[in-house]
Amino acid sequence: MNAHHQRELVIIGGGPAGLAAAIEARRTGVQTTIVDERATLGGQIYKQLPRAFKIHEPRHLGKDYVAGRKLIEEVEASGVEIRLNTVAWGIWDKSIAIYQEGTDAGVLHATQIILATGAYDRPVVFPGWTLPGVMTAGGAQSLIKTQRVLPGRRILMAGSGPLVLAFSAQLHQYGANVAAVLEAAPLPGLPVIAKLLAAAPGNLNLLRDGLGYIAYLRAKRIPFLHSHVIVRAEGREEVERAVIAKVGRDWCPIPGTERTIDVDTICLGYGFFPSVELGLLCGCQHTYDEGLGGHVPVRDEAMRSTVPGVLIAGDGSGVAGSAVAIEEGRIAGITAALELGHLSEAEASRRAGPARTRLATLERFRAALTSAYPVGPGIYELCTPETVVCRCEEVTAAEITANILPGSADPNSVKNLTRAGMGQCQGRNCSRQVASLVARTAGKSIPEVPMFTPRPPAKLVPIALVAEERPEEEPVAEVG
Amino acid sequence: MSDRDSTHRRLDPQGRIERGRELTIEVDGEPVIAYEGETVAGALMGIGKRIFRSTARAMAPRGLYCGMGVCYECLMVIDGRPNQRACMTYVAPNLNVQTQRAWGHRRGSNGAP
């Protein structure tokens, strides 16, 4: 499968950032490969309908679909090597270990790498969150938009930020019965509104979208409750009820405000975590910013990480949405072309100029939104001792707390003792909650305790496929 | 609007989108209608089946959670292969799908994936 020769640029992730990067790099003649785990390009936001579905009115699918389709077609026509159904599960120096669903495993050698891995829904640990019927908002949206299937009969949407409104309105437009929408943050006060308006020039469309969704929910008489969170999902085998409560500014439930809503589905839209696993495996330096989703890579203006030859763009470097991801992707593609000698310094900076200007405008709005919807510390306080924190290994909060060694502030020792974070999802869902429990015990904050040490494989790989790697392909470089 | 409470969960908004051709898959020994282009998760959610597996330790029910291949909660035994993500696997004629118990191996074996 031609996996052994050197490639100039490998882009991991075919969402907005990866597509924009591919276009810019290819335009300068860079030999470019794009790798994506899914069967179609587009990532989550531009997720395409299955090829077997026939679309009579593409407009009906919304502007994201149309914008995504355009980007994808441009990449498909550009001569970029596209490898779909392909998981990148480890990186050693510039060698990327890949596994193609069901068929093959191999290694791609790259001179430059752009990580455009995107983000995933922020897990929020509360009693009952493992019951079938509790879904991430992204998962529910994807099921409805690209599979045309409703996740349940009566849906509660709980979360925070503008996407909660957008998702709820969309779910309803697609025919779902939305019982209520919970926003953990209080009604925005005047200072917040002032900040949003100050950032509005150039971003009026974003502001208008948000107000439109609020009007839609009101028109459809869907209750929209500020300062409310889901505290418990109840049901025997599946969700049958949701218990909600009013919260203070810190998102901690106020005792005595609990009430029960009859729903069979709970969608969680508390924002996103950047997918930083591959950057961590590369050895890129990271820092912590709750507003950007948590641990994010340190980058320069040209999207270079702290590791030479590794560039990072889009939500995987801090959650800011698809508009920002596209501009970052463009800049990363241009930087890769510069590093590979396809562009002069002056030409690269000329080409990146417009993207930088647009990025600055978008960034103002993102910063204003983040300050309007700060994540409350109460989000880490919803689990009870019996609550399963690590979904994969079924480790409860009580077991985690009991295995925090006296004087230790390292989640890795808890991982070793309990297996929390060692399961199929590789700690993506439990790592932050475990860190929070460890930090609390040690009297520290989350950014002050270490992350789970990243280990390959970043995604599950059938051991037989890797072991049976065909002889003409170079083996994965040895670790360490 | 009456569709909002129906048990049939597949959307057919005014024929603007047509599913792929109809086919039959086998779910826990029963024939189930699905459509080309659907994922196993989509097909099962479409008939209201939301429990995809039970866990190894507590035998607790689990289903579709992240829907994007990240959480590995929707693991099922598909065509005899355990630990396949229902959200990332597409249906095909006569595909065999089984609700997974623990790690999907034979009784008595409990090896992690």
- Let me know if residue B22 belongs to a domain: yes
Q: Which residues of chain A lie closer than 8 angstroms to B4, CB-CB?
A: 153, 175-177
The CATH number linked to B95 is 3.10.20.440
Q: What does the pLDDT read at residue A56?
A: 84
Which residue of B3, B50, B67 is in closest CB contact with A139? B67
- Most A CBs within 10 A among B55, B59, B66, B70, hence the mutation to make, goes to B70
Indicate whether A306 and A393 sit together in one domain: no
Q: Which residues of chain B lie closer than 8 angstroms to A84, CB-CB?
A: none
* Subunit contact A135:B65, Cβ cutoff 8 A: yes
Q: What does the pLDDT read at residue A369?
A: 81
- For residue range A219-276, list pLDDT tens digits in order: 999 999 999 999 999 999 999 999 999 999 999 999 999 999 999 999 999 999 999 9
- For residue range A72-130, list pLDDT tens digits in order: 999 999 999 999 999 999 999 999 999 987 667 889 999 999 999 999 999 999 999 99
Terminus-to-terminus CA distance in chain B, angstroms? Answer: 44
Residue B59's identity, in one-letter code, is M
CA distance B55 to B63: 11
CA distance B35 to B90: 10
Indicate whether A133 and A65 sit together in one domain: no
- For residue range A353-371, list pLDDT tens digits in order: 999 999 999 988 888 888 8
Residue B53, domain extent? 17-101
- Pairing relationship of beta strands B22-27 and B30-35 according to DSSP bridges: antiparallel
Indicate whether A331 and A415 sit together in one domain: no
Helices (H), A249-321: 277-282
- Let me know if residue B6 belongs to a domain: no
Please say whether the beta carbons of A140 and A155 come within 8 A: yes
- Most A CBs within 10 A among B7, B9, B85, B87, hence the mutation to make, goes to B9
- The encoded tokens of residue B101 equal 């118990």
Tally C-beta pairs within 8 A across A and B.
159
**A178: closest chain B residue by CA:** B4
CA distance A373 to A10: 35
Tens-level pLDDT at each residue, chain B (113 residues)? 334 444 568 987 557 788 999 999 999 999 999 999 999 999 999 999 999 999 999 999 999 999 999 999 999 999 999 999 999 999 999 999 999 999 987 544 444 44
- Let me know if residue A375 belongs to a domain: no
Q: Which residues contact A38 (CB under 8 A, 6 or more apart)?
A: A14, A47, A84, A85, B69, B88
Domain end: A241, A270, A299, which one?
A270
What's the rounded mean pLDDT across residues A409-437? 96
Q: What does the pLDDT read at residue A418?
A: 97
User: In this structure, what DSSP letter does residue B90 have?
Assistant: B
Indicate whether A151 and A210 sit together in one domain: yes
Indicate whether A317 and A365 sit together in one domain: yes
CA distance A86 to A82: 10
Q: What does the pLDDT read at residue A162?
A: 83
Which residue of A44, A61, A175 is in closest CB contact with B4? A175
- Let me know if residue A463 belongs to a domain: no
- Let me know if residue B10 belongs to a domain: no
- For residue range A186-227, list pLDDT tens digits in order: 987 777 777 777 777 776 777 778 788 989 999 999 999 999
- Let me know if residue A56 belongs to a domain: yes
Terminus-to-terminus CA distance in chain A, angstroms? Answer: 27
Domain end: A370, A395, A413, which one?
A370
CA distance A473 to A182: 52
ipTM value for the complex: 0.92
- b/e string for A99-133 if b means 16 or more Cβ within 10 A? bbbeebbbbbbbbbbbbbbbbbbbbbbbbbbbbbb
B55 part of contact set with chain A, CB < 8 Å: yes
* Phi then psi dihedrals of residue A269, to 5 deg: -125, 65
Flag whether pLDDT at A476 surpasses 60: no
Our CA-based measurement puts residue B107 at a distance from the nearest CA of chain A, in whole angstroms, of 19
- Let me know if residue A136 belongs to a domain: yes
The CATH number linked to A404 is 1.10.10.1100
- Let me know if residue A473 belongs to a domain: no
Please state the domain count of chain B. 1
Please say whether the beta carbons of A400 and A380 come within 8 A: no
Flag whether pLDDT at A442 surpasses 80: yes
Please say whether the beta carbons of A420 and A435 come within 8 A: no
- The encoded tokens of residue A357 equal 């200007």
Indicate whether A166 and A244 sit together in one domain: yes
Our CA-based measurement puts residue A275 at a distance from the nearest CA of chain B, in whole angstroms, of 10
Q: What does the pLDDT read at residue A144?
A: 92
Q: What does the pLDDT read at residue B111?
A: 45
* Subunit contact A148:B71, Cβ cutoff 8 A: no
- Per the listing, tokens 């149309």 go with A66
Q: What does the pLDDT read at residue A468?
A: 64
- Let me know if residue B41 belongs to a domain: yes
- Let me know if residue A477 belongs to a domain: no
Q: What does the pLDDT read at residue A102?
A: 64
* Subunit contact B61:A53, Cβ cutoff 8 A: no
Indicate whether A133 and A190 sit together in one domain: yes
Residue A113, domain extent? 6-120+273-370
Q: What does the pLDDT read at residue A125?
A: 98
* Subunit contact A56:B15, Cβ cutoff 8 A: yes
* Subunit contact A120:B11, Cβ cutoff 8 A: no
Query: How many Cα atoms within 13 Å fall on the side-chain side of residue A221?
Result: 0
- Let me know if residue A92 belongs to a domain: yes
- Its sign, for the CA torsion A329, A276, B66, A440, is negative
CA distance A315 to A127: 29
The CATH number linked to A205 is 3.50.50.60
- The encoded tokens of residue A375 equal 């994540």
Indicate whether A362 and A285 sit together in one domain: yes
- Let me know if residue A454 belongs to a domain: no
- Let me know if residue B97 belongs to a domain: yes
- Most B CBs within 10 A among A85, A126, A149, hence the mutation to make, goes to A149
- Let me know if residue B9 belongs to a domain: no
CA distance A438 to A426: 18
Please state the domain count of chain A. 3
Indicate whether A328 and A405 sit together in one domain: no
Which residue of A53, A56, A174 is in closest CB contact with B37? A53
- For residue range A455-467, list pLDDT tens digits in order: 999 988 877 777 7
Please say whether the beta carbons of A454 and A89 come within 8 A: no
Which residue of B11, B58, B73 is in closest CB contact with A148? B11
Indicate whether A278 and A228 sit together in one domain: no
Of all helices (H) and strands (E), which one includes residue A7?
Answer: strand A6-12
Q: Assign A443 a pLDDT band (cuts: 50, 70, 90).
A: very high
* A23 CB neighbour count, 10 Å cutoff: 19
CA distance B70 to A316: 14
Q: Which residues contact A211 (CB under 8 A, 6 or more apart)?
A: none
- Let me know if residue B109 belongs to a domain: no
* A353 CB neighbour count, 10 Å cutoff: 12
pTM of the predicted model, to two decimals? 0.92
What's the full length of chain B, in residues?
A: 113
Which residue of B4, B20, B87 is in closest CB contact with A177? B4
Q: What does the pLDDT read at residue A404?
A: 96
Indicate whether A233 and A354 sit together in one domain: no
Indicate whether A234 and A137 sit together in one domain: yes
Q: Which residues of chain B lie closer than 8 angstroms to A39, CB-CB?
A: 90
